């Protein structure tokens, strides 16, 4: 049995921020990660920071950004194309993000990192989590850790679930909180309009999971596929040709209307991907959820409830789907030679994910469990819904969020679908407003000794705006600082003095106030 002041399960960016914050306040910290690598999605293909207002998220996140910028300046020079494409450190290659996180962790002597180690259980007594059981995934050895405070930094909410805390899975219906975009919904993302067929009923469906690919445009760094993945299902991808014919593989309306640059891959099968240039001849390749052929919805069914072998089987299925899509657009004879050639300009990179076939290690779990906490953040807290009784301001604010409500589809194409897949809410920037995030969403209703910065307490809609790595890093910093105060004060995390927590956070660069002059109608 080993004892630490703080144990963080999940070396996601949010978990890393929690570990750093607690260690910098003088505590011993164990940071436990299921994978062999730290950094979560930021180190596994998500090569751009999803942030709408840079000034609203500072603290440890901007320290990370600064170290990314420093890397590209020192290695390539400030006059280089690589430095330009890092965009002040907000865009990066996966390997660079991982190296920066490793550098930040290594600088703190109080942090012990345990990689390739899975959570096997939690020990709870008197309504408080006291310890965790871990299994080394390489050696198979079991160990136990105790701590004064635990932090659940997992995307799935695995630690608090193991501790018996209440949680939610799926979508609330409109009848629960009166959220305008709740439940079963067809939403025209081009016109920002709710479509017929929307019932607004709740269900247990989750937004589609995918992988976020890092691809290279440099032939010298390419690791081309030498064949389709095992179990390749060509028929899954043929409907993309229908999307192409119907014009669903074009650009956003503002681009089509001549208000932006029109990339060469628009109106081609390569538009099955959303590609963004990052340094050194690479792109961040999201899998575009707008085509009706998008094959990933519903493939995550059972993921949260599965044991680790079951989850890995689901992850392998998603990997096959992603590689199958890449193979299809590069090689299928139904695609024109010119478009196949264009698609072959994007390949897996030799110098990324070298121990995993040049493929990302982290499945993009956009939404897992959501804590049932002391406060539930809703669409009314984050958007201009006009509903009385809600506010974007909270007395216990510990961070600020601003990213638009954005959820991937939850169902595959159904008969009659001709505009959008069910559940897709694409960037509701006309509704979402900057908002304060209350500390209470990180505190379970009834389980003590734990803070939850990632799979926190929010409705499906509100979660789809806080679920960004910069926001999670801000919440992680708050969680680690709260753990410090709980230990120093000898109290449960739910009882830490809020004025003291906010003072410490602001002293460490955290933004907790809304922009000056931002009224409720901002």
Q: What is the mean pLDDT of residues 161-181?
A: 98
Q: How far apart are CA 514 and CA 47, in angstroms?
A: 27
Query: CA 52, 54, 58, 64 torsion: positive or negative?
Result: positive
- Residue 520: pLDDT band (50, 70, 90) is very low
Instruction: Give the pLDDT score at 499.
Output: 98
Vertex 408: Cα angle to 402 and 412 (nearest 5) = 165
Instruction: Give the pLDDT score at 454.
Output: 98
Q: Are strands 111-114 and 117-125 parallel, antiparallel or unpaired?
A: unpaired
Q: Contact, 192 vs 430, CB < 8 A?
A: yes
Which two tokens mark 311? 């989850």
pLDDT in tens, 280-328: 999 999 999 999 999 999 999 999 999 999 999 999 999 999 999 999 9
Instruction: Give the pLDDT score at 50.
Output: 86
Instruction: Give the pLDDT score at 284.
Output: 98
DSSP string, 107-119: T-TTEEEE-SEEE
Q: List the end-to-end C-alpha distance of the chain, in Å, as a whole number.
A: 52
- Residue 390: pLDDT band (50, 70, 90) is confident
Q: How far apart are CA 167 and CA 454, in angstroms?
A: 13
The helix or strand, by DSSP H or E, that contains position 205, with its residue range, turns out to be: none
Q: Residue 314, CB half-sphere, CA atoms under 13 Å: how many? A: 23
Q: How far apart are CA 72 and CA 95, in angstroms?
A: 12
Query: Quick one: which of 396, 471, 398 has its CA closest to 432?
Result: 471
Helix axes 59-76, 469-489, angle to 10 degrees: 130
The helix or strand, by DSSP H or E, that contains position 461, with its residue range, turns out to be: helix 460-466
pLDDT in tens, 91-133: 999 999 999 999 999 999 999 999 999 999 999 999 999 999 9
Instruction: Give the pLDDT score at 175.
Output: 98
* pLDDT at position 61 over 60: yes
- Residue 449: pLDDT band (50, 70, 90) is very high
Helix axes 13-24, 94-106, angle to 10 degrees: 20
pLDDT in tens, 339-378: 999 999 999 999 999 999 999 999 999 999 999 999 999 9
pLDDT in tens, 239-256: 999 999 999 998 775 554
- Residue 259: pLDDT band (50, 70, 90) is low
Query: Quick one: which of 398, 168, 187, 421 has its CA closest to 291?
Result: 421
Q: Contact, 237 vs 350, CB < 8 A?
A: no
- Residue-wise burial string across 21-54, b where 16 or more C-beta atoms lie within 10 A, e elsewhere: bbbbbebbbbbbbbbebbbbbbbbbbbbbbbbee
* pLDDT at position 476 over 60: yes
Q: How far apart are CA 362 and CA 364, in angstroms?
A: 6
Which two tokens mark 508? 């460490």
Q: What is the mean pLDDT of residues 210-215?
A: 98
Instruction: Give the pLDDT score at 517.
Output: 57
- Residue 76: pLDDT band (50, 70, 90) is very high
Average pLDDT, the chain: 96
Query: Quick one: which of 522, 455, 491 has its CA closest to 152?
Result: 455
Q: How far apart are CA 414 and CA 308, in angstroms?
A: 31
Q: Contact, 93 vs 284, CB < 8 A?
A: no
Q: Domains along the chain?
A: 2-167+429-507 (3.50.50.60), 213-343 (no CATH)
Q: How far apart are CA 65 and CA 67, in angstroms?
A: 5
Return the percentage of the chain with pLDDT > 70, whole number.
97
Instruction: Give the pLDDT score at 521.
Output: 40
- Residue 258: pLDDT band (50, 70, 90) is low
Longest dimension (CA), the chain: 68
- Write down the H helix ranges in 144-214: 158-162, 174-177
Number of Cβ within a 10 Å radius of residue 301: 13
DSSP category for residue 37: S
Rg (CA), the chain: 22
Which conformational region is residue 280 in: left (phi greater than 0), alpha (psi within -120 to 50 degrees), or beta?
Answer: left
């Amino acid at each position: 049995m080993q004892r630490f002041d703080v144990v963080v399960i999940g070396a996601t960016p949010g978990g890393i921020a929690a570990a750093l914050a607690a260690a910098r306040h003088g505590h011993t910290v164990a940071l436990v990660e299921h994978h062999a690598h730290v950094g979560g999605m930021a180190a596994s293909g998500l090569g751009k920071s999803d942030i709408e207002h840079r000034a609203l998220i500072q603290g440890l996140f901007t320290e990370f950004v600064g170290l990314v910028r420093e890397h590209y300046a020192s290695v390539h020079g400030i006059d280089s194309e690589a430095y330009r494409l890092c965009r002040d450190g907000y865009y990066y290659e996966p390997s660079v993000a991982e190296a920066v996180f490793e550098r930040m962790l290594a600088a703190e002597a109080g942090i012990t990192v345990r990689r390739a180690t899975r959570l096997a259980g939690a020990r709870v007594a008197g309504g408080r989590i006291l310890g965790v059981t871990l299994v080394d995934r390489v050696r198979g050895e079991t160990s136990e850790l105790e701590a004064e405070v635990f932090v659940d930094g997992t995307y799935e909410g695995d630690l608090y679930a193991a501790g018996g805390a209440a949680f939610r899975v799926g979508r609330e219906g409109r009848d629960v909180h009166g959220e305008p975009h709740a439940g079963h919904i067809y939403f025209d993302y081009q016109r920002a309009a709710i479509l017929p067929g929307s019932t607004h009923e709740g269900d247990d469906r989750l937004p589609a999971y995918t992988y976020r690919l890092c691809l290279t445009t440099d032939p010298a760094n390419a690791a081309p596929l030498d064949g389709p993945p095992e179990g390749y299902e060509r028929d899954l991808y043929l409907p993309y040709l229908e999307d192409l014919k119907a014009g669903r593989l074009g650009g956003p309306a503002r681009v089509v209307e001549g208000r932006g640059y029109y990339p060469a891959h628009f109106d081609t099968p390569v538009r099955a991907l959303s590609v963004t240039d990052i340094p050194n001849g690479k792109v961040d390749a999201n899998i575009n959820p707008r085509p009706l052929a998008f094959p990933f919805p519903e493939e995550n069914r059972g993921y949260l409830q599965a044991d680790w072998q079951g989850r890995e089987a689901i992850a392998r299925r998603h990997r096959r789907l992603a590689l199958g899509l890449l193979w299809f657009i590069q090689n299928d004879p139904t695609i024109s030679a010119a478009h196949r050639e264009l698609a072959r300009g994007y390949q897996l990179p030799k110098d990324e994910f070298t121990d995993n076939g040049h493929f990302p290690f982290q499945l993009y779990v956009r939404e897992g469990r959501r804590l049932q906490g002391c406060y539930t953040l809703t669409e009314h807290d984050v958007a201009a819904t006009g509903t009385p009784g809600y506010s974007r301001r909270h007395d216990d604010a510990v961070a600020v969020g601003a990213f638009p409500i954005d959820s991937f589809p939850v169902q595959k194409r159904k008969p009659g679908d001709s505009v959008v897949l069910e559940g897709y809410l694409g960037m509701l920037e006309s509704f979402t407003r900057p908002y304060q995030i209350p500390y209470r969403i990180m505190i379970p209703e009834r389980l003590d000794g734990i803070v939850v910065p990632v799979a926190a307490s929010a409705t499906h809609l509100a979660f789809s705006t806080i679920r960004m790595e910069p926001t999670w890093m801000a919440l992680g910093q708050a969680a680690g600082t709260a753990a410090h105060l709980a230990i120093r004060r000898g109290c449960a995390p739910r009882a830490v003095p809020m004025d003291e927590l906010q003072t410490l956070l602001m002293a460490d660069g955290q933004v907790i106030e809304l922009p000056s002059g931002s009224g409720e109608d901002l």
